[in-house]
Amino acid sequence: MTRRARRVWPHLVLVPVSMLMLVPIVWLAISAFKRAEDFFETLFFPVNEDGGLAIERLTIEHFHRLFTEVGILRSLANSFFLSSTLAILASLCCAAAGYALARLRFRGAGGLTVLVLAILVVPPPLLLAPTYELMHQLDLLDSYLAIILPGMAPAFGVFLFRQATVQSVPRELLEAARLDGMGELGIFANVALPLLRPMLGAFVMITYLAMWNNFITPQVLLHSPEKMPLAVTVANMKGVYFTDYGLQMAATLLSVAPVLVLFLMLQRDFVSGLASGAVKG
Amino acid sequence: MSARPGERAAAWLLIGPFVIVTAVFVLYPLYRSIVLAFSQTFGPGASAPAGWMNFRLTLTDPDFWTALKNTGLFTLGSLCIQLPLALLLAMVLNRPGLKGRSVYRLIIFMPQLVGLVFAAMIGSVLFAKRVGAVNQVLHAVIGIDLDFPWLDVHVTPTLIIIALWLYVGFNMVYFLAALQTVDRSLVEAALVDGANPAQRFLNVIVPSIRPVLTFVVLLSFIGSMQLFELPYVMLEGPGNENRGLTVVMYLYQRAFEQGDLGSASAVGWLLGLALIVAASVQMVLARREAA
């Protein structure tokens, strides 16, 4: 192979693959603006009789209906609220617990580490029925607490932060802070947390995304339509507006776009943080 | 070494939220799931001991076996198609001096951000008969029947394709990170020794990334076995002739459509045991190879 060919062939693989990855998203972004009569006429943009692009036939009518008729703003706000609350609480709880397991000496640390690892293998669907029963007994069904409380301290988060602490919070630094007379909680907040920032960023993103896309938990534990996050509201639209594909795709785009934008802004932290847990762990 | 004053109190304060949440919302439900699995239940709160009845009912229910077959085929298909492709993409991306690596990585990873529910919404339109984009394009290119029934008959391949789109980039990122830790000098030494690409791959690269390889296989297995939202939303239920029924969907139907928390817990334990066995096999294999 010539040097030139060597340099070009990876792109002959990667460009088509990238396009295949993007096509469904681009298709979604255009479909959300297509009128019913144009929806299946062309793959992407609508065209005129003479074959020219007809951008002017795109419409924002679906979005108008989503906000007036479907009341999607409520679901959007619910998704924002649930995802942000859970992401912040879970990150703090997991960072604190992971740091304590990695760097503080106390009786029970070994047992708790084993507990964290053991819980990692429990599949969430196993807890679905008993959690429903428990929330019924606690009278928390149809309350956001039923979602937030159990999600506040996931074991895999504790595990990730334990690994991150071992890697990036040197014992000597903690000792120095102790010699300076700093309290243990102050050391965690002022010395350890800043060093854990990359993992914090990645974990906030992971939990935010997981809650944003979570369907089964709100579907099971919430009842009132006005409390539902986007995942449930949008899924239910299939049964109500069953041939209104433009409307369905507009709702889907509205649900996907915020996390895509958020991710594009934070992606550097996210992708590398995600991978570091696996490789160095 | 004795604990410093305040260290123990601080430790319990920091780990307290995790301990409390885990005790109440993981360990207690886990205990209840055992009790429930051996009880006949009538909605939440009412139950009577029932021995192995729930397990017997589940294991003799043809629907459960349909669900297991569908889930198993999906898992097998996903592992065998998606992971080799992910590794291949990672190796292409890992070529030294490749231009645009981070852009490619970003684009191929991006679909993973689209939640399963939303991917199901997109899939149900793209894979529709006659008018759906997939059949339109395939009809134009390779002359496939415009009415090819992706969503009515060939549900598992449809799910495998959508899962491939969603997760191939996710697994690729893991593989890429692992490949970047492979010692270049080992690869170059193999080149000097005249190893061909297949030998270099099997004898140098695979051993170097084996920990990540087993981790990704296990993660994919566990994730695939819990498939639920994708078919449930796309087909608005188990689909034509239960072709989209999965184990978790079966559990969901038992618990929340029939109100039978007992047999749902039994199904949960069957699933849990399968995953634990898989994880143990994996760990034993990993340890034997490390030794």
**Averaged pLDDT for residues B82-108:** 93
Confidence of residue B50 (pLDDT cuts 50, 70, 90): confident
Asked whether the predicted pLDDT for residue A54 surpasses 90, the reply is no
**Averaged pLDDT for residues A95-115:** 94
pLDDT at B49: 86
Please report the beta strands in chain B, taking only residues with DSSP state E, as ranges in sequence order.
39-41, 47-49
pLDDT at A269: 63
Residues 6+ apart with CB under 8 A from B163: B74, B78, B82, B224, B227, B230
Of A105, A132, A252, the CB nearest to B118: A252
Confidence of residue A208 (pLDDT cuts 50, 70, 90): very high
Confidence of residue A248 (pLDDT cuts 50, 70, 90): very high
pLDDT at A1: 58
The complex's ipTM works out to 0.92
Asked whether the predicted pLDDT for residue B52 surpasses 90, the reply is yes
For an interface test with B, which of A117, A126, A232 has the most B Cβ atoms less than 10 Å from its Cβ? Answer: A126
**Averaged pLDDT for residues B34-56:** 87
Least Cα separation, residue A127 to chain B (angstroms): 6
Interchain CB distance below 8 Å, A136 and B44: yes
User: pLDDT tens digits, residue range A12-37?
Assistant: 999 999 999 999 999 999 999 999 98
Asked whether the predicted pLDDT for residue A147 surpasses 90, the reply is yes
Asked whether the predicted pLDDT for residue A104 surpasses 90, the reply is yes
**Averaged pLDDT for residues A40-51:** 86
**Averaged pLDDT for residues B79-108:** 93
**Averaged pLDDT for residues B245-254:** 97
Chain B residue numbers with beta carbons less than 8 Å from the beta carbon of A11 are: 99-100
Of A93, A127, A215, the CB nearest to B117: A215
- Residue A277's Cβ-count burial label (10 Å; 0-12, 13-18, 19+) is buried
The single residue listed with the structure tokens 């399963």 is: B116
Q: What is the DSSP string of B186-210?
A: HHHHHHHTT--HHHHIIIIIHHHHH
Asked whether the predicted pLDDT for residue A274 surpasses 70, the reply is no
Task: Answer yes or no: are the C-beta atoms of A255 and A230 closer than 8 Å.
Answer: yes
Q: How many helices and strands (H and E) does chain B possess?
A: 15, 2
Least Cα separation, residue A268 to chain B (angstroms): 9
Chain B residue numbers with beta carbons less than 8 Å from the beta carbon of A158 are: 18
pLDDT at A225: 95
- Residue A37's Cβ-count burial label (10 Å; 0-12, 13-18, 19+) is exposed
What type of residue sits at position A133?
Answer: E
Q: CA-CA distances (angstroms) from residue B39 to A50, A177, B76?
A: 69, 55, 33
Q: Where are the alpha helices (DSSP H) in B127-205?
A: 133-142, 155-179, 184-192, 197-200
CA angle B34, B35, B39 (to 5 degrees): 120
Lowest mean pLDDT of A91-105, B201-215, B261-275, name the range.
Answer: B201-215
Least Cα separation, residue A85 to chain B (angstroms): 15
Window B:199-258, CB contacts with A under 8 Å: 212, 215-216, 222, 225-226, 228-229, 233, 236, 248, 251-252, 255-256
Lowest mean pLDDT of A54-68, B52-66, B178-192, B275-289, name the range.
Answer: B275-289
Check if B80 contacts A (Cβ < 8 Å): no
CA dist., res. B259 & res. B250, Å (int): 12
Confidence of residue B55 (pLDDT cuts 50, 70, 90): very high
CA dist., res. A91 & res. B143, Å (int): 52
Interchain CB distance below 8 Å, A132 and B44: yes
**Averaged pLDDT for residues B262-286:** 90
Chain B residue numbers with beta carbons less than 8 Å from the beta carbon of A186 are: none
Which helix (H) or strand (E) is B48 found in, with range? strand B47-49
pLDDT at A281: 35
Of B32, B95, B117, the CB nearest to A231: B117
pTM: 0.92
**Averaged pLDDT for residues B145-155:** 95
